Structure 1
Amino acid sequence: MSILKRFLVLLVRSMPTVFVVVTLGFFLMKLAPGDIADYIAASSGAATVESTNALRDSFGLNLPVLEQLFAYYRTLAHFSLGTSMRFDMPVTELIASRLPATLLLVATSIVMALAIGIVAGTVMALNAGRTKDRILSGLTLVFYSIPSFWVGLMLIIVFSVQLGWFPTGGSQTIGSRASGFHFVIERARYLFLPALSLALYYVAIYARLTRSTVIEMRRQDYVRTAVAKGLNHWQVTLRHVLRNALIPVTTMAGIHIAGILGGAVVIETVFSWPGMGRLTYEAINARDYVLLLGILLVSALVVIAANILVDLLHRFLDPRIEARS
């Protein structure tokens, strides 16, 4: 089975999950107090009960809850996410303008967390019980204990305010005409601190998991056989130990994608990163359930697609998974 075909099959199988996510999200939002009409009335400062009820009628908020849900299903059936009540724009356009920045931040954070965590965990495992292991274990415990937003604020103070190495926020210089390699470097300078702030918490998890898995794998019979055949230390570690140790680490990374997306909302606010975080905050503040459901649906699809990619990565790391499926 080709990779693309397998990806499409898994994506189709996940559609019931998306249906459940949208339905539960809709009812949870309806349980929250207030609606978009209350927000508009509070913003105008001169609204009356009659005008507020008129707004609810125009938005269909006075309809029974099930009718509102079925109306949203009909909108989705036409491959549309509806129109935002707050911005009076198609939800698809709003999300499309913010999603690439969030995906860039999340993908960079995952790559950084995995790279740093796997390297640190491997060093800890190869030096178990020694000074390097104790120092790295202490550092990972510190990263695990500190909230991401506080780490972000400290990074801004140290590397932006004091040292001036990185910008304090935003995604690019206003009016910049950089292109090519210079454009990539400029974007990387704006991206580094928010991505690192989001990644450090997960670095601790992946480092500890890699450490325990590598220690376990080094005790396996096939590792002893590889050593007996005369392979050097690094060949055994990279080709036999670390490759098998990556499976539980990447599995955990797939589970954490939803949490990283949620953490991106806070980090984007701290660093003024123009992603979906600010859009989500504005939608919650305005009680714009159409926009919120659109963000929830797209986020669920991103998480599902990422977990499918993790599944395909496992098949590459261990061909036996393909044989068993």
Structure 2
Amino acid sequence: MFLPAVRRTLLQAIPTMIGIVLLSFFFLHMMPGDAVDALAGISGSASKETMEAMREAYGLNAPLPVQLLRYFGNVLTLNFGQSINYSSPVFNLIVERLPSTLILMLTAFVIALTTGILVGWVMAVFAGRWPDRMLTSISLLFYSAPNFWVGLMIIVLFSAKLQLLPAGGSETIGVTLEGWHWLVDRLQHLVLPACSLAAFFVAIYARLTRASMLEVLRQDYMRTAAAKGLHPLLLQFRHGLRNALIPVTTVAGLHLGNMLSGAVVVETVFNWPGVGRLTMSSLAARDVNVLLGILLMSSVIVIVTNLIIDWLVMWLDPRISA
């Protein structure tokens, strides 16, 4: 049942990833300057001969088609090249930063999905009344506010004013912690950036759950189940919310790529040591190899997520597998 969907997604993923590499490669090389120019600007001075020698060493003076073919050949062997800015293999850089970003994304994803579904369910149950209107206004605020503004306001409120949580970083610097104290410290640093990243998606899932739930509640089988005397909570959760979650689950999978791009802003605001900050620093340094490696990694994450979402949708509604 699930294997055909896996094969179909994998077959679609191959041309998609090739297209992503091609477009990203040419668009990134359209930027003015290169990594050698960025390094020369940081150092303050560099002779023309030195810069040409560096371009020759890193292969930056070769024609673009030659660089592209060379890059494709390296990717097939899982060699993403060398970072000029960090003087380290790109694969090692991404693997080192990826766990922090995945923890941030998955935490924000769980917060957004659970909170959005619960808020949307409350909005649907109290449709047209004051809880619905109040939660709708809050959802519109989170939907319209940019991530960096939400992050800054969260820092001002919970860190500067209330002094409940740290303002940035992933752990307390200069302190050696172990066991439970280490875990609590990491969780305290995770709360604010995860909530900031999840705020926009909470609004989307809440509105979508509300609309889907209201549509399900109008179906004939819901009225039949109510006429049989089922408890309202059992009716809403077992028969209503499960069917209402199908569009929410599908959209949530599609939004994971957006969440990865939003992590770039959130990691910069909260000084979170993940792939987002690596992207910003590599973009400023014109480090094309690192940027291409991050784009490939993002593509793989989105493809794997789509596979998981396909399985969840078929589990929620077995008719889809037919």
Query: Could you say which TM-score interval applies, normalised by the shorter chain?
Result: over 0.9
Instruction: State the AA in 2 paired with 1:290.
Output: N
* 1:97 positional shift: 0.6
Instruction: State the AA in 1 paired with 2:41.
Output: A
Q: Quote the Cα distance in structure 2 between the aligned partners of 1:142 and 1:223.
A: 33
Post-superposition CA distance 1:71-123 (Å, at most 9, x none): 00010111221111211211111001100000110111111111111111110
The percentage of aligned residue pairs carrying the same residue is 49
Instruction: State the AA in 2 paired with 1:25.
Output: S
Name whichever of 23-32 and 78-87 sits farther off: 78-87
Instruction: State the AA in 1 paired with 2:249.
Output: T
- Cα RMSD between the aligned structures? 1.6
Secondary structure of the equivalent of 2:80? coil
Instruction: State the AA in 2 paired with 1:297.
Output: L
Q: Quote the Cα distance in structure 2 between the aligned partners of 1:274 and 1:73.
A: 29
Q: How does 1:7-26 map to 2 (within 5 A)?
A: 7=6, 10-26=9-25
Q: Do residues 314 (structure 1) and 318 (structure 2) align?
A: no
Instruction: State the AA in 2 paired with 1:308.
Output: L
Q: Do residues 266 (structure 1) and 265 (structure 2) align?
A: yes
Q: How does 1:27-66 map to 2 (within 5 A)?
A: 27-66=26-65
Name whichever of 179-188 and 144-153 sits farther off: 179-188
Instruction: State the AA in 1 paired with 2:252.
Output: A
Flag structure 1 segments of 5+ consecutive residues without an equivalent: none
Q: Do residues 233 (structure 1) and 237 (structure 2) align?
A: no
* 1:172 positional shift: 1.2
Secondary structure of the equivalent of 2:255? helix
Q: How does 1:137-286 map to 2 (within 5 A)?
A: 137-286=136-285
Equivalent residue, structure 2, for 1:121: 120
Secondary structure of the equivalent of 1:253? helix
Q: Quote the Cα distance in structure 2 between the aligned partners of 1:184 and 1:222.
A: 47
C-alpha spacing 1:119/1:157, structure 2 compared with 1 (3 Å): same
* 1:6 positional shift: 5.5
Instruction: State the AA in 1 paired with 2:71.
Output: Y
Instruction: State the AA in 1 paired with 2:10.
Output: L
* 1:48 positional shift: 2.1
Q: Quote the Cα distance in structure 2 between the aligned partners of 1:278 and 1:30.
A: 21
Instruction: State the AA in 2 paired with 1:67.
Output: V
Q: Quote the Cα distance in structure 2 between the aligned partners of 1:53 and 1:207.
A: 55
Post-superposition CA distance 1:215-249 (Å, at most 9, x none): 00001111112112221101111111100111111
* 1:213 positional shift: 0.6
Instruction: State the AA in 2 paired with 1:306.
Output: T
Secondary structure of the equivalent of 1:14? helix
Q: How does 1:68-147 map to 2 (within 5 A)?
A: 68-147=67-146
Post-superposition CA distance 1:100-152 (Å, at most 9, x none): 00011011111111111111111011111101111101111111111111111
TM-score (norm 1): 0.95
* 1:179 positional shift: 3.7
Residues 144 and 204, structure 1, Cα contact 8 Å, conserved in 2 = yes
Flag structure 2 segments of 5+ consecutive residues without an equivalent: none
- Structure 1 runs (4+) deviating above 4 angstroms are 5-9
